[in-house]
Chains A and B, each alone.
Chain A
């Protein structure tokens, strides 16, 4: 039917030759791009090490466990910043992951296509809001609400716990965690939704055919199918939460106390850098701030490694099954 024979043989050869040279250029371009990426990461690491050398030398590993942060005596330690970063991120994940999971399942399994589209659009819109807006909203709208309603309610319900001590100021680690949860929610949801959509319809229909309820289908087909993507989505959110700067700086309260109470003010690595970098004129002060950056770099790297490890292990397990 097709007149393949009418194509002159010369053209075929020529185009084949062209595609080989095109391939080479393409390969070169991709290699350059990858090399640039590796160089950038290495460059950041080297520069961070170089700039924080003074502080590394003076404080050693004690930097990680020291509570001091005294620009007057030039004694620096990262403990309160690490604590604030980890706890606020943890709160964000505890709040955001279950909600995202429910939301994604609703969008894929239950919602009417029109509703799904509207809610999906809203989620994408939420993801596009700049972090400074979250920060200002957090400080001027949410913090007052926290102080007047949420914190007294928490104290009323579980006032005995060391987690909810102190005057309800509306700002602090808990508020920062909640704002962070709001910020990472759309990211995690969007990825989870895409993952769930890829679960084969045949398997789902088969499960329904066997008489499964929606919950059972979600639990034994959709979620297991997308487990890898699910974990990936969580780490994406985690990565965003841990380095978030402006929004946290607005609501975390920026002090260096270390207490059990989530109502207390604290600081995160990113907020400390945002606050203090521009005015740090002494070399040791600058170097200590750089080392904080290095610590954040390290934390992010460790999280990435754990994520990769986990994903690999899961891939192996699913393979076995």
Chain B
């Protein structure tokens, strides 16, 4: 027992000596955790940034809920979530949140004889299919929206996410907005009680099931639909037009967003107005503490995010994400200047970004 005690003391001593040594090294190690949806672009940015500056960004894509839990527990320097926190929640926790990049969620289907982009769905149809009310592809309501298609007599298998997910949050947020029945019976959240269908784990799980099961329809992050060469449907937007999921239609959906009046950047981009707008668009958010404990590390972290806003657009677009518009970036950096502090001193000077 004595030996054990001695060993414990030694271990604690080593740990105590070890920490300050790590903190004093010149290159910074910044850790973050959260949403899986932006992971492809976050990892590319981190890789490029490390080669450029030596600053290491370690991002764990454990899911939005996990990201929020980790930042609450202060085990990471920043959290990431697809579902924004409400302004009151942010105040309560002393966090600031800002949008990093945007993307789209798309319905994908697998129907024999129907090609990608041929199937048109109205908002009501999408809700009724996911409610289980329309259960066969030859249903009259679907035929009315698709007079030129010859839809088969085939049972519809709905595929949804089995795990909690920001993608589900965006998708159910949209269904809640456009269908009062959905709002009443199911509601929106990162995980909901699905009235119909089967669940796949992760975007890739949903993609695998949809490709596997004939007559199925699911929803995935756009990048996954492209990677897996899946058939996306057209959706009718608020303006009544059927639009295809493209970077342009996501951008149109995002362009009308009123970030100026969104308190704490709490803004959901589903069902936005505009002729060209894709109706299920969403932003993904970063969460950091307003009061930072390590000024130099906090500055390094903000510098990284500023670099992403300024130099990361091409990478983002290549991976089918929509970069934040310039005016939003300006607003975000102003919030950094106004709100992120260490003992009262602001950690972000606006002059610096203007000169860059």
| A residues in contact (CB < 8 Å) with B | 68-73, 139-140, 143-144, 147, 167, 169-172, 249-250, 253-256, 265, 267, 271, 274-276, 278-281
Task: Among A69, A140, A278, point to the contact of B66 (Cβ < 8 A).
Answer: A278
User: In this assembly, does B190 line the interface, its C-beta being within 8 Å of a C-beta of chain A?
Assistant: yes
| New contact pairs (4) apart from A253-B199, A267-B199, CB-CB < 8 Å | A169-B212, A171-B209, A256-B194, A275-B162
Any chain A CB within 8 A of the CB of B165?
Answer: yes
A167 to B136, CA, bound (A): 12
Name, among A143, A265, A274, the residue most crowded by chain B CB atoms within 10 Å (CB to CB). Answer: A265
Residues of A within 8 A of B187 (CB): 72-73
Smallest Cβ distance from A133 to chain B, in angstroms? 15
B135 CB to nearest A CB, Å: 10
Cβ-closest chain A residue relative to B81: A281
Q: Closest A residue to B172 by CB, please name it.
A: A72
Instruction: Say what secondary structure dominates the interface of chain B.
Output: loop
Distance to closest chain B CB from A33 (angstroms): 15
- Does residue B64 face the partner (Cβ distance < 8 Å to A)? yes
| A289 smallest CB distance to B (angstroms) | 11
| Cross-chain contact B63 with A278 (CB below 8 angstroms) | yes
Give Cα A267–Cα B160 distance, bound, in whole angstroms.
Answer: 14
Tell me, rounded to whole Å, the shortest Cβ–Cβ distance linking A34 to chain B: 18
Contact B65 A255, beta carbon cutoff 8 Å: no
Please report which residues of chain B, range 159-208, place their CB below 8 angstroms from some CB of chain A when the two chains form the complex.
Answer: 162-165, 186-194, 197-201, 205, 208
B155 contacts A by Cβ under 8 Å: yes
Give the nearest-CB partner of B190 in chain A.
Answer: A279
CB atoms of A253 and B193 under 8 A apart: no
Known: A139-B208, A279-B163. Contact between A167 and B215, CB under 8 A?
yes
Least Cβ–Cβ distance between B162 and chain A, in angstroms: 3
Q: Which residues of A contact B162 (CB under 8 A)?
A: 249, 254-255, 267, 271, 275-276
Residues of B within 8 A of A256 (CB): 193-194
Contact, CB under 8 Å: B201 / A70 = no
B157 at the interface (CB under 8 A from A): yes
- Is A275 within 8 A of B193, CB to CB? no
With A72-B187, A276-B164 as contacts: A169 and B65 at CB distance below 8 Å: no
Q: Which of B62, B188, B200 contacts A254 (CB 8 A)?
A: B200
- Name the 4 nearest CB pairs between A and B, nearest first: A279-B164, A254-B199, A254-B162, A279-B65
Do residues A278 and B193 form an inter-chain contact, with CB atoms below 8 A? no
* B69 CB within 8 Å of chain A: yes
- Residues of chain A with a CB closer than 8 A to B189's CB: 71-72
Q: Is B63 within 8 A of A143, CB to CB? A: no
Convert B130-159 into 0s and 1s, putting 1 for each residue whose CB lies closer than 8 angstroms to a CB of A.
Answer: 000000000000000000000000010100
Query: Could you say which residues of chain B place their CB within 8 Å of the CB of A249?
Result: 162, 201
B68 touches A (CB below 8 Å): yes
Residues of chain B touching chain A, judged by Cβ–Cβ distance below 8 Å, are 62-66, 68-69, 155, 157, 162-165, 186-194, 197-201, 205, 208-209, 212-213, 215
On chain A, the residues within 8 Å of B199 by CB distance are 253-255, 265, 267, 275
The answer to whether residues A280 and B65 also contact, given A73-B187, A171-B209, A249-B201 and a CB cut-off of 8 A, is: yes
How many angstroms between the C-alpha atoms of A3 and B242 in the bound complex?
Answer: 103
Contact A169 B198 (CB under 8 A): yes
Give A159 Cβ to nearest chain B Cβ, in Å.
Answer: 16
Docked pose: A169 CA to B69 CA in angstroms: 36
Identify B157's interface contact among A71, A73, A169, A281, CB under 8 A.
Answer: A169
Given contacts A254-B162, A279-B165, contact A70 B198 (CB under 8 A): no
What separation, in Å, do the CA atoms of A255 and B200 have in the docked complex? 9
| In the complex, chain B residues whose CB is within 8 Å of the CB of A265 | 198-199
* Chain B residue with Cβ nearest A172: B198
A70 vs B199: C-alpha distance when bound (angstroms): 15
Residues of B within 8 A of A70 (CB): 192-193
In the assembled complex, 27 residue pairs joining A and B whose CB atoms fall closer than 8 Å, in A order, are A71-B189, A73-B187, A73-B193, A144-B212, A147-B212, A171-B213, A172-B198, A249-B162, A250-B201, A253-B198, A254-B198, A255-B198, A256-B194, A265-B198, A267-B199, A275-B162, A275-B164, A276-B162, A278-B62, A278-B66, A278-B163, A279-B66, A279-B163, A279-B165, A279-B191, A280-B65, A280-B191
Determine whether the beta carbon of B188 is less than 8 Å from that of A72. yes
| A167, closest chain B residue (CB) | B155
Of residues B155, B164, B188, B197, which shows the largest number of chain A Cβ atoms within 10 Å of its Cβ?
B164
Determine whether the beta carbon of B157 is less than 8 Å from that of A275: no
A261 and B62 CA atoms in complex are apart in Å by: 34
Kindly name the residue among A68, A144, A256, A276 whose own CB sees the greatest number of chain B CB atoms within 10 A. A276
User: Shortest distance in angstroms between B1's beta carbon and chain A's nearest beta carbon?
Assistant: 11
